[in-house]
Structure 1
Amino acid sequence: MNEATLPHPGGLFMVGLPGLALDDSTRELIVRERINDFILFKRNVESPAQLGRLTAALADACRTTGLGPPLISIDQEGGTVARLEPPFTVFPDARQLAAEPDPEAALTAYAETCAQELRSVGINMNMAPVLDLCPAGQGYYMERRVLGDDPAEVARLGQLIIEKMQHNGLIACGKHFPGLGAARLDPHREISAIERSRQELEQDLLPFRAAVEAGVAALMTSHTVYPALDPQRPATLSPLILADLLRRKLGYTGVVVTDDLEMGAIERQRGVPEAALAAFQAGADQLLICRDHDKVRRALARFKQALAGGEIAPARLRQSLARIAALRLLA
């Protein structure tokens, strides 16, 4: 098979933008590398009108290049992780919403408002809800971002958020599989291990099982090692966790998204190009690189080399591209 007939790997990547408008580097990634999935941060937001112009410019650039409509995502969990400030609605942390006298009403309002406001400015995917379990008052990194520490309750409330978001046209991405709540170290900086037994991890999986049952469109991986599942590799790079556990045992058929491959937990171990390839080989579909376009280009070069050299089967690449294409149809 010659290079011209190989599928292009650009469609696997979801990338960040440097500023408030469509820039030359991002445009080049669209035109030359066929990238049409993006993630936005506070650095990309000045006002609703400006944000609408940015997403429209991304969509127009993808359309004129002959690509499908872009996935444009954001982390709008509420509280400590929210990229949109007033006049967008400001919500408390998930844990606070889940502790309201009527958590169902509070979380329904959050999910439906997110869907309305994000869609109004051209964003069609939210990297939420957090499905991790985390006790309060014990110094865990995820404490405020979770819905609680009761597996059945987090499963129920997470399922509610997913259903309300997706019913209102906003793609939901549950995170961080198979559960980041017991992590004491921030994976943005360094890798850590979660020393939980298989029995304990089964409890952590309950919200993810519920999310799969609810038809969650995407699930994000954790950059943490789970020795009971794979003693050597973090979940993002582990076929035992992504292929065997998530796909085969949990029966998940949607899109698997990596957390940001530029995080210290991953980049310090392998570098972004090799980590992107390893994550894909482990079972991930969509590869998240949130800032550095040079790393995106180097990762793409590594993928092209791997395709040409037979490290990646073209059928496997087409499978992931088809999953991502199906995701766009939900928006």
Structure 2
Amino acid sequence: MFESFRSQAAQKISGWSLEEKVGQLFILAFPGKDAEAARPLIERYNLGGCYLSQDNAATFAEARQLTQAMAAIVNQRADAVPMLLGVDQEGAWSVLTPESTTGPGNLALGSADNPALSAQMYSVFGIEMRSAGFNCVLGPCADVNLKPNSPIIDTRAFGEVPAQVAVQVGAAVHGAHDGGIVVCAKHFPGHGDTTGDTHREIPVVDKSLATLMVEDLAPFKAAIDARVELMMTSHICYPQIDPVYPATLSRAILQDVLREKLGFKGIVISDSMNMGAIRRNFPPVEAAIIAFKAGIDMMMLSEEHYDHNDNYLENQLAMIGAIVSAVEDGRMPEAELNQIVERVVAFKLARLVGMPLFREFNQVANRKVEQAAAQSAVQILADPARNLPVQADKHVFVLQTTPLADYANLVNPRGIGPNQATPAFDYFAAEISTLLPEERLSILDYTEAKTWLAEVKVAADQLVLAVIENYPLPGEDFKQAASKALVAELAAKFGEQLVVIGLRNAYESVPELAGHVCAYGSRECSARAAAQVCLSV
């Protein structure tokens, strides 16, 4: 894929020390907004890349300051190559929130079923992230929601039908390239057929390669056909393909399937090797050596600082040092190391050198793309009593079904995930307040809704809009029990006068007599679009 740059890459690395070669294969992370935290890794080890999150930069101004400072450290070297600066700007997960344009998320784009619109959305991601100084979007998710109750994928996937997901993934890759940025399809060979979360455990998907080809791999092949540069692996076991190792450590999966069968010629990067799936089951150095030998080109250690461990820098330096020792003592042949480094540097020369960064962009135009995507995604899935659009003779009660305490983990100190401080309910309530007169509208938070429900007498002019939400969180679950219980109580009392507003996926069933409006996402644009659909605006 980058073969024409291989000789130039070989010449560039010929003068590098062993430490500098090994360092080029690592994508690390650090806490805070100061590039000085990464200086030891960059200067001593010629660090290959960094995973950057909301913890590192919450605004475009902070991102530009950080990435420019990092580039200044890198460029002190006469033979410098750019660092890969990757971010989870993929819709349902995001950075620089709320300044950046997140769109409604991949599941909503799948619902909209308009590949051109998906391409536009990913072009926006590319343009905005380059403006911040980032050069890689760690997306799109090419996973298929075969098990829709996944706590970690959910709205990050484009849907549950492999062929349709494949079309969307291809469009996303093309769109991001139109936006001028490098992209990474994930989580190969698929994270959608498990309810396990690799931040916590090694999930097992017990299916044959033939079944995997039909159910999981079509979106990854679409990404490859669209010339995706990077492929991120999953820490999931597929015992019918490799009975010993998860995908990240499996030569059978990375070489035989990804390289040979699917024809991928780009750079293979690991999901974080410090996630629970790897850290709790394999010695770190042994896992790293196995992964490189299996076919990993760049290794991510992005969770090293997530627990705010004061020793994160020492731990990362120790891992690089351990791989240096493994090369020195022959456990990892230097010839193999050189081949990997050549491939990585050739990719950087081809795609990162000369990438235009820090350019201004048209935020108004980007928000229009976001709005169009969100509006196209919303669907009225059920309306048995024909309550929609809301009639002029109805008094509308908008109810929050999630207790305030259940939003506690919506934003975490690690800076990964949705990074959405404001619940989707608040945006829905704000939008519908602009569309209905005050005398016809009552907005109740969870506590108020519980009290009201216990006391209210049902009347024919009442219409209840019960808002349900979900968010895919890394290593955590968004609590659902209280919300489900309240919806059940509302259904028992109001029957067909209830409409459930899903600011989430549509995989959970709603009460039989209730209406159901689904936005397929929990972003602000999705919540506002759902409110507009309720009023047929």
Q: Is TM-score (shorter-chain normalized) higher than 0.5? A: yes
- Structure 2 residue aligned with 1:211, among 204, 223, 242? 223
Amino acid at match of 1:117: E
Instruction: State the Cα distance separating 1:319 from its structure 2 match.
Output: 1.8
Number of the residue aligned with 1:295: 315
Q: Contact (CA 8 Å) 2:191, 2:234: kept in 1 or not?
A: yes
Number of the residue aligned with 1:326: 346
Pair 1:314 & 2:334 matched: yes
Q: Contact (CA 8 Å) 1:75, 1:128: kept in 2 or not?
A: yes
Amino acid at match of 2:339: Q
Number of the residue aligned with 1:59: 71
Residue 185 to residue 147, structure 1, CA distance change in 2 (3 Å): same
| Equivalent residue runs for 1:63-102 within 5 Å | 63-66=75-78, 67-79=80-92, 81-100=93-112, 102=113
Number of the residue aligned with 1:19: 32
Instruction: State the Cα distance separating 1:148 from its structure 2 match.
Output: 1.2
Number of the residue aligned with 1:244: 256
Number of the residue aligned with 2:211: 200
Instruction: State the Cα distance separating 1:47 from its structure 2 match.
Output: 1.7
Alpha carbon RMSD of aligned pairs, Å?
A: 1.7
Pair 1:260 & 2:286 matched: no
Residue 110 to residue 169, structure 1, CA distance change in 2 (3 Å): same
Number of the residue aligned with 2:10: none
Count of residues in correspondence between the two structures: 325
Deviation per CA, 1:109-145: give whole Å up to 9, x if none: 2111101100001100011000111137545642221
Instruction: State the Cα distance separating 1:175 from its structure 2 match.
Output: 0.4
Residue 136 to residue 265, structure 1, CA distance change in 2 (3 Å): closer
Amino acid at match of 1:42: Q
Q: Contact (CA 8 Å) 2:167, 2:219: kept in 1 or not?
A: yes
Number of the residue aligned with 1:162: 173
Amino acid at match of 2:229: A
Residue 69 to residue 210, structure 1, CA distance change in 2 (3 Å): same
Q: Secondary structure at the match of 1:23?
A: helix
Q: Which runs of 5+ in 1 are unaligned?
A: none
Number of the residue aligned with 2:454: none
Number of the residue aligned with 1:280: 292
Amino acid at match of 1:325: V
Q: Which runs of 5+ in 2 are unaligned?
A: 1-15, 305-311, 353-537
User: In structure 2, what is the Cα distance between the partners aligned to 1:92 and 1:272?
Assistant: 37
Q: Contact (CA 8 Å) 2:124, 2:179: kept in 1 or not?
A: no
User: In structure 1, what is the Cα distance between the partners aligned to 2:148 and 2:140?
Assistant: 21
Number of the residue aligned with 2:158: 147
| Equivalent residue runs for 1:173-192 within 5 Å | 173-192=184-203
Deviation per CA, 1:277-321: give whole Å up to 9, x if none: 221111100000113333321211221111111122222212221
Number of the residue aligned with 1:226: 238
Q: Contact (CA 8 Å) 1:73, 1:126: kept in 2 or not?
A: yes
Give the structure-1-normalised TM-score.
0.93
Pair 1:112 & 2:132 matched: no
Residue 274 to residue 136, structure 1, CA distance change in 2 (3 Å): closer
Amino acid at match of 1:82: S
Q: Contact (CA 8 Å) 1:73, 1:123: kept in 2 or not?
A: yes
Q: Secondary structure at the match of 2:66?
A: helix
Q: Contact (CA 8 Å) 1:191, 1:225: kept in 2 or not?
A: yes
Q: Contact (CA 8 Å) 1:141, 1:181: kept in 2 or not?
A: no
Instruction: State the Cα distance separating 1:160 from its structure 2 match.
Output: 1.1
Identity rate, percent = 34
Q: Secondary structure at the match of 1:45?
A: coil
Q: Contact (CA 8 Å) 2:234, 2:271: kept in 1 or not?
A: yes
Q: Contact (CA 8 Å) 2:150, 2:194: kept in 1 or not?
A: no
Instruction: State the Cα distance separating 1:23 from its structure 2 match.
Output: 2.3
Amino acid at match of 2:351: L
Pair 1:269 & 2:290 matched: no
Q: Which is higher, the Rg of structure 1 or of structure 2? A: 2
Give the structure-2-normalised TM-score.
0.58
Deviation per CA, 1:66-106: give whole Å up to 9, x if none: 42121111011112x21221221132221111101x52233
Residue 190 to residue 231, structure 1, CA distance change in 2 (3 Å): same
Instruction: State the Cα distance separating 1:211 from its structure 2 match.
Output: 1.5
Number of the residue aligned with 1:304: 324
Residue 137 to residue 216, structure 1, CA distance change in 2 (3 Å): closer
User: In structure 1, what is the Cα distance between the partners aligned to 2:63 and 2:339?
Assistant: 32
User: In structure 1, what is the Cα distance between the partners aligned to 2:259 and 2:328?
Assistant: 27
Amino acid at match of 1:35: L
Pair 1:9 & 2:9 matched: no
Q: Secondary structure at the match of 1:259?
A: coil
Q: Contact (CA 8 Å) 1:176, 1:220: kept in 2 or not?
A: yes
Number of the residue aligned with 1:47: 59
